[in-house]
Structure 1
Amino acid sequence: MTVTTTPQRDTLPARAPTAAAGQQRRRGRLKEALWGYAFIAPTGLGIAVFYLWPVLQTAYFSLTEWGAFGGHTWTGLDNYRRLSSDPEVGRALVNTLTYTGLGLLSIPLAIGFAVLLNRKGMRFVGFYRTLFFLPVVTMPVAIAMVWRWLYNGDYGLTNYLLSLIGIDGPNWVADPATALYALVVVGVWSSVGYNLIIFLAGLQAIPKEYYEAAAIDGAGPFRQFISVTLPLLSPTAFFVSVVSVIGSLQLFDLVYVMAGSGAGARANPAFPRLETVVQLFYDRAFVTNDRGYAAAIVMMLLLVIVVLTAVQFRFQKRWVHYA
């Protein structure tokens, strides 16, 4: 019997990449990297010129003292020592943090309105969305002037409506007991529309299958809101809270228009309850011309913003971990 054997081909090992091929790959990666840097260069240059450089310049100015006619001298940490013992800075910081904390009430309000506007079959949804969003596209100065008239103690609409039910309303912006809370109402009213649009987008991104499965399990509307809507809406709520806190800490225009600045504003008995950190910065930089100290104030505000944002990110990570 003849056995036919098939000759086996020798298996040759794969050739190691040559130096030329490796160099060609490195050139390709370098080319891709250069194209990437070229695409982000306009944005990066804008951030460096309009954001990073002013921050560095302000940090340097906070270590100097400015003369009345310009020019500055190096003083080191003197402005920060003065900052730590200035009661007006502490009061402005407390006012700002109080306004920021109370301003977060716009988030649950926006969630509630967004859920209502997201219901099926609701009529005039476009009209309601526009109505809520109008304050966002209105100039803050115009908003402040309108609310200043509404809050006027002599001829304001708010006190007129209260007088119809026998209540003698105060001069809202001039009364230390009500001034800051009146400001919070304006801030919440003007920010609900923006937050509502963001939450509406978050609600519409939630798959309907989750609600159908919850309904099959017997969950009612409230239970679906607690167990489905809120957990899946938490990333949106986190974004809105970060943006709201940063915006509230930089409050200036409402205070400037409703309370004024300089000696005229300080004649208002409620001004100590209205003065914010940015308002104090403005007074020191452009009214009293103490620019080095003003730079130290704004650097303190930057530190507060960074710390509070970091705390929010930390809580968000824990929320995601335990959810």
Structure 2
Amino acid sequence: MWGYAFIAPVGLGLAVFYLWPVLQTGYFSFTEWGAFGGHTWTGLDNYRRLLSDPQVGTSLVNTVSYTLLGLLAIPLAIVFAALLNREGLRGVGVYRTLFFLPVVTMPVAVAMVWRWLYNGDYGLINHVLSLVGIDGPNWIADPDTALYALVLVGIWSSVGYNLIIFLAGMQAIPREYYDAAAIDGAGPVRQFFRITLPLLSPTAFFVSVISVIGSLQLFDLVYVLVGSGQTARTNPAFPRLQTVVQLFYDRAFVTNDRGYAAAIVMLLLVVIIALTALQFRLQKRWVHYG
């Protein structure tokens, strides 16, 4: 009973603020809401509409594309963590702070700064490119560059968090392994691939799971960069940037179609569960064959 007593506060918080809203949203996904509140049961109508809505498919493809491209932050974080983990490196604390600053910065502030950097008329990036004779595009308004510009911001924001986790994982590896490898003639690069990466696989798995879940819920960066509703639709690149969560927000709070919005977010929940289960299955096979 003491064990249950100690976990009761956390369990109660999870039940009230996480489990109950999920169940409530699942129920609302089978309803239709009126303009002045109140709802009526409509069965599977919202899900039938979901399957025939082209915007749902487009936003889902955009979200998955952003998630897959954003996984590039993991190898980058591993490389930077390995560099910072070297013995005798001066100023390690300063480097850690600089890498971690984007993580503790408010996402809205990050998006506003990058919105200025990406501006096609007076942005700093295009100004630097103009100095070498390159006419830069309007990064967020160009359908060919919009998604990659968004991915770059996401990677820049998440590398620091991943780096701290990988650095902790590397420091937990016994130093004797590296000393023995050095005696056998293995250099730093071979030690990295033969010792660091294999022993870092559980940490990499954890980072990949939380990265995928976080990327699938992308909203704040897109909202600040391109807006929502009619304002966002004036952006030519909006079809390449709209995410599932932004589509949910637009249906729930702009057009007041809350039942359909609940169905959209339940679809996202299913996608997150499916991809997380796939990651766990691949991890088990990796461990088995390893």
TM-score range, shorter chain: over 0.9
Q: Which amino acid aligns with 1:58?
A: T
Out of 175, 180, 191, the position equivalent to 1:224 is 191
Deviations along 1:247-266, one digit per CA (max 9) or x if unpaired, are: 00000000000000010110
Q: Which amino acid aligns with 1:88?
A: Q
Deviations along 1:284-304, one digit per CA (max 9) or x if unpaired, are: 000000000000000000000
Partners of 1:321 and 1:224 in 2: CA distance? 23
Partners of 2:2 and 2:214 in 1: CA distance? 35
Q: Equivalent residue for 2:9?
A: 42
Out of 11, 20, 23, the position equivalent to 1:56 is 23
Partners of 2:212 and 2:244 in 1: CA distance? 14
Deviations along 1:3-51, one digit per CA (max 9) or x if unpaired, are: xxxxxxxxxxxxxxxxxxxxxxxxxxxxxxx111111111111110000
Q: How far apart are residue 310 of structure 1 and its match?
A: 0.4
Q: Equivalent residue for 1:318?
A: 285
Partners of 1:300 and 1:249 in 2: CA distance? 11
Q: Equivalent residue for 2:107?
A: 140
Partners of 2:58 and 2:26 in 1: CA distance? 23
Q: How far apart are residue 217 of structure 1 and its match?
A: 2.0
* Aligned-partner SS, 1:55: helix
- Report whether the alignment pairs 1:86 with 2:25: no
Out of 166, 175, 178, the position equivalent to 2:145 is 178
Deviations along 1:157-192, one digit per CA (max 9) or x if unpaired, are: 000000011100000000010011000000000000
Q: Which range moves more in the overlay, 300-309 or 216-225?
A: 216-225
CA RMSD of aligned residues (A): 0.6
* Aligned-partner SS, 1:218: coil
Choose between structure 1 and 2 for higher RCO, CA contacts under 8 A separated by at least 6 residues: 2
* Aligned-partner SS, 2:200: helix
Deviations along 1:64-86, one digit per CA (max 9) or x if unpaired, are: 00011100000011100110111
Q: Which amino acid aligns with 1:102?
A: L
Q: Equivalent residue for 1:129?
A: 96
What is the total number of aligned residue pairs between the two structures?
A: 290
- Report whether the alignment pairs 1:196 with 2:168: no
Q: Which amino acid aligns with 1:105?
A: L
Partners of 1:152 and 1:56 in 2: CA distance? 42
Runs of 4+ in 1 over 2 A off after TM superposition: none
Partners of 1:223 and 1:137 in 2: CA distance? 34
Q: Which amino acid aligns with 1:210?
A: Y
Partners of 1:263 and 1:144 in 2: CA distance? 20
Identity of aligned residues (%): 83
Partners of 1:277 and 1:55 in 2: CA distance? 17
TM-score when normalising by structure 1: 0.89
- Structure 2's unaligned 5+ residue stretches are none
- Structure 1's unaligned 5+ residue stretches are 1-33
- Report whether the alignment pairs 1:304 with 2:271: yes
Q: Equivalent residue for 2:135?
A: 168
Q: Which amino acid aligns with 2:141?
A: A
Q: Which amino acid aligns with 1:139?
A: M
Q: Equivalent residue for 2:62?
A: 95
TM-score when normalising by structure 2: 0.99
* Aligned-partner SS, 1:169: coil
Q: Equivalent residue for 1:107?
A: 74
